[in-house]
């Protein structure tokens, strides 16, 4: 499992405004990721949380950019792309990754990257933070976004 070596973050995001942008494909996986992000934000004392759903993972960067422009202190981007039989997987994954990276760098607003790029549905379920999952990537993305805000403020 890829979670080996992950840091244990304990962050206090009191007063932060966080927008979670979440794709709509693969409902079970997305519900798990979103629940994990909400749990992590609650643990971090973040009470100003806005959730925006978009059709798919490819649409996450434009929603993240809008959230950053509208005053979010951090954005958590959640999506899942499962490999199929065409190159579509690579295009969507690359577009989402480069787009979200661009949003963070261009705006200075941290973007927690909770986009699963999996070979099959079982890999996604194992990372979705559901009962029986091995990892909770939604929670990890939320924690990373809050921790990055705090790190940037400490500079």
Binding region for (2S)-2-hydroxy-3-oxobutyl phosphate: 85-86, 127
CA distances from 21 to 24, 86, 153 (A): 10, 26, 23
Q: Count, in order, helices (H) and strands (E) of the chain.
A: 5, 4
To the query of whether residue 88 is one of the catalytic residues in this protein, the response is yes
Binding residues for 5-amino-6-(D-ribitylamino)uracil: 25, 57-59, 80-82, 113
Q: Which of 3, 6, 47, 88 is catalytic?
A: 88
Q: Give the residue ranges of the annotated binding site.
A: 25, 57-59, 80-82, 85-86, 113, 127
Cβ-count burial of 84 within 10 angstroms (0-12 exposed, 13-18 middle, 19+ buried)? Answer: exposed
Q: Which residues are catalytic?
A: 88
């Amino acid at each position: 499992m890829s979670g080996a070596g992950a840091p244990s973050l304990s962050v206090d995001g009191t007063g932060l405004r966080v927008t979670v942008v979440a794709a709509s494909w693969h409902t079970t996986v997305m519900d798990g990721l979103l629940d994990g992000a909400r749990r992590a934000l609650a643990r971090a004392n973040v009470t100003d949380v806005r959730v925006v759903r978009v059709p798919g993972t490819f649409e996450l960067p434009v929603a993240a950019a809008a959230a950053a422009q509208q005053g979010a202190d951090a954005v958590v981007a959640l999506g899942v792309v499962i490999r199929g039989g065409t190159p579509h997987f690579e295009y969507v994954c690359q577009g989402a990754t480069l787009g979200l990276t661009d949003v963070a760098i261009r705006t200075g607003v941290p973007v927690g990257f909770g986009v699963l790029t999996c070979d099959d549905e079982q890999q996604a379920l194992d990372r979705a933070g559901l009962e029986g999952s091995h990892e909770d990537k939604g929670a990890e993305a939320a924690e990373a976004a809050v921790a990055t805000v705090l790190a940037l403020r400490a500079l």
